[in-house]
Structure formats: structure tokens, C-alpha cells
Structure 1
Amino acid sequence: MVASGALSLGLLAFMPLPRGAEPQVYVIEIDKLAFGPAPAGLHVNDIVEWRNSDIFRHTATASDGSFDIDLPPSAKGQTVLRQPGVIDYACRFHPGMKGRLEVVP
């Protein structure tokens, strides 16, 4: 005979995980002195991968200090989104390059 608690735990192992359990990877391409469009539907723990396809060195630098990624030509780097909210970002070398991430729980 199986205890009801053990049976419940066994059934939970086969239930799908909630949305936040499996982070998604989103890519933002940098080219021609511009950030590509920011992805929609970002959640806490998702990963943003920055890819520099430009001939210039760039950064992806959050105004709140949550990330600062140095990206020489052909480089890529990642950041994990740790909090909900709006994150404005820019390139330290090219201040006209700006973008915004909107992160929900």
C-alpha cells in the first residue's frame, strides 16, 4: 500500500513545470551601430544573449548597473534577468545606441 503523500509527490513529478521554471534564451543582434529590437515577453530568469555583428566594439550596459557586457566585434555575451521591471541599456562607446528590456515575473 502506498501512502497518499507519496502518491501525491509521485504525481507532481509528471506535472508540467510552471512558466518560470525553464528560462528562455533571447538574442539581441548588434549591427550598424544599433541594437536589434528587444524581445517581447521577457520573464525573470530568462537569458538575453548579445551578439555583436558590427565592425565596432560595443557594450550592453544597463542604466541600473545590473549588467555591463563588453562586446568586441564578433563577440557574444549573456545576462540573466534577475528582477521584474524596466531595464534601460546603452552602449558606453556610442551613447546614441539605446534600448529597453521589459521583464515580468
Structure 2
Amino acid sequence: MKPGRLASIALAVVFLSVVVPAHAATIRITMEDLVISPADMSAKVGDTIEWINKDVFAHTATAKNSDFDVMLPPQKSATFVLKKAGTIDYYCRYHPNMKATLKVEP
């Protein structure tokens, strides 16, 4: 193999390892008995949050900073992909005592 070709292959491997993002995670958060669980969660930009409503009435996952406002019908789930880093406090608009925090890292 020619030395120039070997250098090109090595450069391509390094470039792909930097450009290809790590696999995003799906983080499940449950709403049951008027409680969000877990109430404090860490995630990364690109991760998907899946809220699962196990109650017989509707809930929302409403960010105080307006990043998201997700409707959760009874016994259903909904998802949202995190787009930016920061701490997001959120609550249920129908049941304001249901509160939680997402810490989103880059």
C-alpha cells in the first residue's frame, strides 16, 4: 500500500470519528398518581425524552422557558428531542404541583 493512501485512510477514520455523533439516548419519564418520576433528570442535546402518562386524565410537560409544551392524553406517551443545553424546569399545566427539572448537557 502506498504511504499517501495509508495517510488518507487514517485521516478519513479520524474525521469520521469526529463528525459522526454519538448515539442519542431515549429517556423515559413517567407521570403517575400526579407525580413526575424521576423529578430530576440529566440528558444530552440530541436525546429524546419520552413522557409516559399512566394516569386516567391528561397531563402536559410544559417548560417554563417555553422550550416545549407536550400534551399527554390519558394512558398515552409523547416524545421531544432536546435541542439545546441548559436547565429546564417544567410542570403540568393542568396540575401545577407536578414539577420536574431536566439538566441538558451539550
TM-score category of the 2 structures, normalised to the smaller one: 0.7 to 0.9
State, as a whole percentage, how many aligned pairs show the same letter: 37
Q: How does 1:44-59 map to 2 (within 5 A)?
A: 44-59=45-60
The CA RMSD over aligned residues, in Å, is 2.4
- Conservation of the 8 A alpha-carbon contact between 1:62 and 1:90: yes
User: In the TM superposition, what is the alpha-carbon distance from 1:16 to its structure 2 partner?
Assistant: 9.1
User: In the TM superposition, what is the alpha-carbon distance from 1:62 to its structure 2 partner?
Assistant: 0.6
Q: Determine the structure 1 residue equivalent to 2:93.
A: 92
- Conservation of the 8 A alpha-carbon contact between 2:40 and 2:101: no
Structure 1 counterpart of 2:53, one-letter code: N
User: In the TM superposition, what is the alpha-carbon distance from 1:90 to its structure 2 partner?
Assistant: 0.5
User: In the TM superposition, what is the alpha-carbon distance from 1:11 to its structure 2 partner?
Assistant: 3.4
Structure 1, unmatched stretches of 5+, are: none
Q: Which has the larger radius of gyration?
A: 2
Structure 1 counterpart of 2:24, one-letter code: P
Runs ≥4 residues deviating over 3 A: 9-18, 38-41
The 1:47/1:93 distance shift into structure 2, 3 A limit, reads: same
Out of 5-14 and 84-93, give the one that drifted further.
Answer: 5-14
Structure (1/2) with the larger helix percentage: 2
The 1:13/1:83 distance shift into structure 2, 3 A limit, reads: closer
TM-score by length of 1: 0.84
